[in-house]
Chains A and B, each alone.
Chain A
Amino acid sequence: MQQVSGSSQVVIPVPKKKKQPPLAWVGQGFFILLGIVVVAILISNLIRQPTLFAQFFISGLQLGFVYALIALGYTMVYGIVKLINFAHGDVFMVGAFVSYFAVARFRLHQWPLAAFPQISPGLGVVIGSLTVILLSMVICSALAITIERVAYKPLRDAPRIAALITAIGVSFFLEYFGALNFVFSPRFIPYERPFEVVAWYIKDGIHLIKPGEAPPDGAITFSNILLIIIVASILVQIFLQFLVRRTKIGIAMRASSYDKPAARLMGINVDSVISFTFAIGAAFAGLGGVLYAIAYSSIWTQLGILPGLKAFVAAVLGGIGSIPGAFVGALIMGQAEAMTMGYISTPMRDAVAFTILIIVLLIRPTGIFGEPEKEKV
Chain B
Amino acid sequence: MELGFLLGSIVKILGILAYLYGLLWVLARPNRWVKLIGVVGAFGVVQLALTDFGGFQILTNFDSGLLFQACAMTMVALGLNLIYGFNGQFSLGQWGFYGIGAYTAADITYRWVNGDARGLLVVGFGTILGGLALIYIGRWLKRFRGVPVLSSFTLYLIGAILAGTVAVYIGNALNPMFEPLLGTSLNPGILNSPLALQIVFFLAVVFAGIFAAEVSFLFGLPVLTLGSDYFGIATLGFTIVVNVLMINSDTILPFPEMKGGRGMVGIPKLTTWFWAFFFMMAVIIIMRNLIQSSTGRAIISVREDEVAAKAMGIDVAGSKLLAFVVGSFFAGVGGAVYAHFIGFLSPGTFGFLQSFNPLIIIVFGGLGSMTGTIAASFGWIFFLEGLLRVLLSQMGTEAPTWRFVLYPITLLLLMLIRPQGLLGNIEWGFLKQKDVLPRETSAVDQPEVAASKA
Name A residues whose Cβ lies closer than 8 Å to a Cβ of B: 1-4, 6, 21-31, 84, 151, 154-155, 158, 160-162, 164-166, 168-173, 175-177, 179-181, 186, 302, 305-306, 309, 312-313, 316, 345, 347-348, 350-351, 353-355, 357-358, 361-363, 365, 377
Are B405 and A362 in contact (CB-based, < 8 A)?
A: no
Given known contacts A151-B412, A348-B252, A377-B307, A4 and B240 CB-to-CB distance under 8 angstroms: no
Known contacts A4-B146, A84-B232, A362-B222; 14 further A-B pairs (Cβ under 8 A):
A1-B149, A1-B152, A23-B155, A26-B155, A27-B153, A166-B411, A176-B407, A186-B401, A305-B352, A354-B234, A357-B233, A358-B222, A361-B234, A362-B150
For A306, the chain B residues whose CB sits under 8 A away are 240
- The residue in chain A whose Cβ has the minimal distance to the Cβ of B219 is A358
Are A361 and B317 in contact (CB-based, < 8 A)?
A: no
B79 to chain A, nearest CB (A): 18
B140 to chain A, nearest CB (A): 10
Are A172 and B408 in contact (CB-based, < 8 A)?
A: yes
For A155, the chain B residues whose CB sits under 8 A away are 415-416
The number of chain B residues with a CB under 8 A from chain A is 60
Show 14 residue pairs from A and B whose CB-CB distance is below 8 angstroms, ordered by the A residue.
A2-B225, A23-B152, A27-B149, A27-B150, A27-B153, A29-B154, A84-B233, A155-B416, A169-B409, A172-B353, A177-B405, A180-B402, A345-B252, A362-B149
Are B248 and A347 in contact (CB-based, < 8 A)?
A: yes
Which B residues, 222 to 275, have Cβ-Cβ distances below 8 Å to chain A?
Answer: 222-223, 225-230, 232-234, 236-238, 240-241, 244-245, 247-248, 251-252
Rounded to whole angstroms, the CA-CA distance of A155 and B147 in the bound complex is 39
B219 to chain A, nearest CB (A): 9
Are A21 and B148 in contact (CB-based, < 8 A)?
A: yes
Rounded to whole angstroms, the CA-CA distance of A305 and B354 in the bound complex is 13
Q: How many A-B residue pairs lie within 8 Å, measured between CB atoms?
A: 179
Which one of A24, A176, A345 lies within 8 Å of B248 (CB-CB)?
A: A345
Given known contacts A179-B401, A181-B398, A351-B241, A21 and B150 CB-to-CB distance under 8 angstroms: no
For A164, the chain B residues whose CB sits under 8 A away are 90, 229, 232
Are B356 and A172 in contact (CB-based, < 8 A)?
A: yes
For B223, the chain A residues whose CB sits under 8 A away are 358
For B73, the chain A residues whose CB sits under 8 A away are none
Which one of B226, B321, B411 lies within 8 Å of A165 (CB-CB)?
A: B411
Which B residues, 418 to 432, have Cβ-Cβ distances below 8 Å to chain A?
Answer: 419
Are A2 and B415 in contact (CB-based, < 8 A)?
A: no
Are A350 and B147 in contact (CB-based, < 8 A)?
A: no
Rounded to whole angstroms, the CA-CA distance of A361 and B225 in the bound complex is 9
For A171, the chain B residues whose CB sits under 8 A away are 408
CB of B404 within 8 Å of the partner chain: yes
For A377, the chain B residues whose CB sits under 8 A away are 307
CB of B144 within 8 Å of the partner chain: yes
B321 to chain A, nearest CB (A): 7
Give chain A's interface secondary structure class: helix
For A151, the chain B residues whose CB sits under 8 A away are 412
Rounded to whole angstroms, the CA-CA distance of A348 and B244 in the bound complex is 7
A147 to chain B, nearest CB (A): 10
For B245, the chain A residues whose CB sits under 8 A away are 351
Are A1 and B318 in contact (CB-based, < 8 A)?
A: yes
Instruction: Name which of A172, A313, A357, A363 has the most chain B CB atoms within 10 A of its CB.
Output: A172
CB of B26 within 8 Å of the partner chain: no
CB of B221 within 8 Å of the partner chain: yes
Instruction: Name which of A27, A29, A180, A353 has the most chain B CB atoms within 10 A of its CB.
Output: A27
B435 to chain A, nearest CB (A): 29
Given known contacts A26-B151, A362-B150, A165 and B401 CB-to-CB distance under 8 angstroms: no
Are A162 and B419 in contact (CB-based, < 8 A)?
A: yes
B85 to chain A, nearest CB (A): 11
Rounded to whole angstroms, the CA-CA distance of A207 and B150 in the bound complex is 50
B323 to chain A, nearest CB (A): 14
Are B401 and A176 in contact (CB-based, < 8 A)?
A: yes
CB of B316 within 8 Å of the partner chain: yes
For A361, the chain B residues whose CB sits under 8 A away are 226, 230, 234
B421 to chain A, nearest CB (A): 11
B159 to chain A, nearest CB (A): 12
For B234, the chain A residues whose CB sits under 8 A away are 354, 357-358, 361
Are B150 and A1 in contact (CB-based, < 8 A)?
A: no
CB of B145 within 8 Å of the partner chain: yes
Rounded to whole angstroms, the CA-CA distance of A180 and B400 in the bound complex is 10
The 10 closest A-B pairs by CB, nearest first: A354-B237, A27-B150, A27-B151, A176-B404, A4-B146, A26-B151, A172-B408, A173-B408, A169-B408, A169-B411
Rounded to whole angstroms, the CA-CA distance of A26 and B154 in the bound complex is 7
CB of B213 within 8 Å of the partner chain: no
Which one of B146, B237, B363, B415 lies within 8 Å of A3 (CB-CB)?
A: B146
Are A27 and B148 in contact (CB-based, < 8 A)?
A: yes
Are A362 and B225 in contact (CB-based, < 8 A)?
A: yes
Instruction: Name which of A1, A175, A180, A306 has the most chain B CB atoms within 10 A of its CB.
Output: A1
Are A22 and B145 in contact (CB-based, < 8 A)?
A: yes
For B251, the chain A residues whose CB sits under 8 A away are 345
Which B residues, 293 to 326, have Cβ-Cβ distances below 8 Å to chain A?
Answer: 307, 316-318, 321
Are A3 and B149 in contact (CB-based, < 8 A)?
A: yes
Which B residues, 126 to 151, have Cβ-Cβ distances below 8 Å to chain A?
Answer: 141, 144-151
- The residue in chain A whose Cβ has the minimal distance to the Cβ of B231 is A361
Instruction: Name which of B147, B238, B352, B404 has the most chain A CB atoms within 10 A of its CB.
Output: B147
Are B252 and A172 in contact (CB-based, < 8 A)?
A: no
Are B146 and A351 in contact (CB-based, < 8 A)?
A: no
CB of B381 within 8 Å of the partner chain: no
Which one of B146, B151, B241 lies within 8 Å of A6 (CB-CB)?
A: B146
- The residue in chain A whose Cβ has the minimal distance to the Cβ of B241 is A351
Rounded to whole angstroms, the CA-CA distance of A179 and B411 in the bound complex is 19
Are B90 and A176 in contact (CB-based, < 8 A)?
A: no
- The residue in chain A whose Cβ has the minimal distance to the Cβ of B143 is A22
CB of B359 within 8 Å of the partner chain: yes
For B405, the chain A residues whose CB sits under 8 A away are 173, 176-177, 180
Are A172 and B146 in contact (CB-based, < 8 A)?
A: no
A134 to chain B, nearest CB (A): 30
- The residue in chain A whose Cβ has the minimal distance to the Cβ of B90 is A161
Which one of B150, B227, B241, B409 lies within 8 Å of A354 (CB-CB)?
A: B241
For B359, the chain A residues whose CB sits under 8 A away are 165, 168
B143 to chain A, nearest CB (A): 9
Are B237 and A24 in contact (CB-based, < 8 A)?
A: no
B192 to chain A, nearest CB (A): 35
- The residue in chain B whose Cβ has the minimal distance to the Cβ of A352 is B241
Are A21 and B147 in contact (CB-based, < 8 A)?
A: yes
Rounded to whole angstroms, the CA-CA distance of A177 and B402 in the bound complex is 8
